[in-house]
């Protein structure tokens, strides 16, 4: 997992589509959904860590704009 697109595809595999027209809100929702998938043991620790790091990185980029 290397891009936000990969995170979106991960969520899509579980029927989760996130789009609110507010990028920060989208990223917050993605963070929560990935956490919920991990807590339900539907994704591995490695996938969880990669997804969370990508989401946090994207949040930093968006907040700088």
Per-residue pLDDT of the chain (65 residues; tens, 9 = 90+): 999 999 999 999 999 999 999 999 999 999 999 999 999 999 999 999 999 999 999 999 999 98
The model carries a pTM of 0.93
CATH of 4-64, one of 3.40.1280.10, 3.30.1490.150, 1.10.287.760, 3.20.20.10: 1.10.287.760
Rg (C-alpha) for the chain, rounded Å, is 11
Residue with tokens 């990969």: 6
Q: Where along the chain do its domains lie?
A: 4-64
Rounded to whole angstroms, how far apart are CA atoms 13 and 59? 23
Helix residue spans in 1-65 (DSSP H): 4-13, 23-39, 45-64
């Amino acid at each position: 997992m290397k891009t936000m697109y990969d995170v979106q595809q991960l969520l899509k595999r579980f029927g989760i589509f996130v789009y609110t027209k507010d990028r920060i809100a989208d990223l917050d929702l993605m963070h929560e959904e990935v956490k919920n998938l991990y807590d339900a043991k539907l994704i591995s620790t490695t996938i969880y860590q990669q997804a969370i790091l990508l989401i946090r990185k994207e949040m930093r980029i968006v907040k700088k704009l």
